[in-house]
Amino acid sequence: MSDSNFIDYVKICCRSGKGGAGSSHFRREKFVPFGGPDGGDGGRGGHIILRGSKDVWTLLHLKYRKHVIAEDGQNGSGARKSGAQGKDEILLVPLGTVAKDFDTGKIEFEVTEDGQEFVLTKGGRGGLGNDHFKTSTNQAPTHAQPGEPGLEQWKILELKVLADVGLVGFPNAGKSTLLSVVSAAKPEIADYPFTTLVPNLGMVRYRGDRSFVMADIPGIIEGASEGRGLGHRFLRHIERNSTLLFMVACDSPDIQKEYSILVNELKNYNPDLLDKKRILAITKSDMLDEVMMEQMKPLLPEGVPSIFISSVAQFNIDALKDMIWLQINSD
């Protein structure tokens, strides 16, 4: 996913189709001068529908499409003929897309499966023809219903990346390097902060034909939960991960403090994130020998599984995969 192509937030105006009017019509044929009412119903206005697609990874195709308009339903006609329904407008979205009402901010639904469909904005109902209004005392009703108007609503679509493991760490903690080593993903890697500006996904093969999905998420800075740095742009992607892999460089002045800052930012953003399984990886450990690692172990945070790794030197990478696999497959 390149920076220019990965779009995870769009605001669109949705206008559904209005329903067609019911027909006020009477049967008129040769030798049947006073046939009964036979007005058909109007067709439903077109819906605006979101459909999940595993082949779509971004909301880029909706970024410049500010107005989405569905077709109106057709009017009914005689001989009880119903009007055609307005064509639905179907928008393909990536798995993990959340739909919100712009005015209230309320979450309406989440698209998580391929082919899953939700109606984002309902089309207006078609009106009933006069055939529906005949009674024993009114054999020739002239009344037919007009169609319901369509709706015009502003909607927010947000993408939350679906992955088994989310990489959490400060800028330059080695997240992108790890992803490039364990998968075929090619994230941008450089020795300066915020190299990663958008989430990158990689499929990690594990012992034969098994695999799991890893997401490299832009680095956290202190205050990210309040919108500093990339703020909420990346924090929402962490909500979908079943396991969080915290990454702290071995040359950090205070590993435990850095880990606490990361945890605190997640807590401030969404306390539910603290319920997720965690692993702590001490990166760039090719700079350490075994004695130094043993000396550092008592300084690591308690209660979280930890491992020393080096992506460049391929040190403990297989052991890290084993830990991740056990975490994502444990109850």
The strand pairing partners of 159, in sequence order, are 97
Are residue 126 and residue 198 in the same domain, yes or no? no
Q: Average the pLDDT over 117-131 and give the result.
A: 95
Does residue 3 sit within a domain?
no
Rounded to whole angstroms, what are the CA distances from 18 to 87, 89, 120, 215? 11, 13, 15, 42
How far is the C-alpha of 60 from the C-alpha of 318, rounded, in Å?
36
User: For residues 203 and 152, is the Cβ–Cβ distance under 8 A?
Assistant: no
Can you give the pLDDT at residue 221? 57
To the nearest whole percent, how much of the chain has pLDDT over 90? Answer: 49
Q: How far is CA 249 from the centre of its chain?
A: 31
Q: Tell me: the pLDDT tens digits for 133-157?
A: 998 888 889 999 999 999 999 999 9
Nearest of 199, 16, 49 to residue 115 by alpha carbon: 49
- The pLDDT of residue 48 is 97
Out of 14-18, 41-45, 156-160, 279-283, which region has the weakest mean confidence (pLDDT)? Answer: 156-160
User: Which tens digits make up the pLDDT trace of 71-84?
Assistant: 999 999 989 999 99
pTM of structure: 0.67
What is the pLDDT at residue 269? 81
Q: How confident is the model at residue 44 (pLDDT cuts 50, 70, 90)?
A: very high
**Are both 119 and 219 inside the same structural domain?**
no
Residues 214, 259 within the same domain: yes
- 277 shares a domain with 172: yes
| Contact in structure between 52 and 28 (CB atoms under 8 Å) | no
Residue 256 belongs to a domain: yes
Answer yes or no: do 172 and 321 share one domain. Answer: yes
Percent of the chain with pLDDT over 70: 88
Query: Does residue 244 lie in a domain region?
Result: yes
Which of 137, 159, 181 lies at the terminal end of a domain, its last residue?
159
Residue with the bigger pLDDT between 222 and 84: it is 84
- Quick check: 231 pLDDT over 60? no
Q: Are residues 116 and 253 in the same domain?
A: no
Give the whole-angstrom CA distance, residue 123 versus residue 70: 8
pLDDT at 226 over 80: no
Same domain as 173, residue 154: no
pLDDT at residue 107 above 60?
yes
Q: What is the mean pLDDT of residues 8-17?
A: 93
SS (H, E, C) the chain: CCCCCCCCEEEEEEECCCCCCCCCCECCECCECCCCECCCCCCCCCCEEEEEECCCCCCHHHHCCCEEECCCCCCCECCCECCCCCCCEEEEEECCEEEEECCCCCEEEEECCCCCEEEEECCCCCCCCHHHHCCCCCCCCCCCCCCCCCCEEEEEEEECCCCCEEEEECCCCCHHHHHHHHCCCCCCCCCCCCCCCCCEEEEEEECCCEEEEEEECCCCCCCHHHCCCCCHHHHHHHCCCCEEEEEEECCCCCHHHHHHHHHHHHHHHCHHHHHCEEEEEEECHHHCCHHHHHHHHHHCCCCCCEEECECCCCECHHHHHHHHHHHHCCC
Q: What is the Cα–Cα distance from 145 to 203, expressed in whole angstroms?
A: 55
C-alpha dist (Å) from residue 248 to 93, 164, 236 = 34, 20, 21
Which has more confidence, 311 or 229? 311
Please report the pLDDT score of residue 229 as a whole number. 42
Q: Which of 107, 134, 159 is the last residue of a domain?
A: 159
User: Residue 163 is encoded by which pair of tokens?
Assistant: 């992955």
Phi-psi region of 223 (alpha: psi -120 to 50; beta: other; left: phi over 0): left
Q: Are residues 44 and 124 both part of a single domain? A: yes
Give residue 194's pLDDT: 44
- Give the residue numbers spanning the domain of 293: 165-328
Gyration radius of the chain over CA positions:
29
Is residue 195 predicted with pLDDT exceeding 70?
Answer: no
Number of domains the chain contains:
2
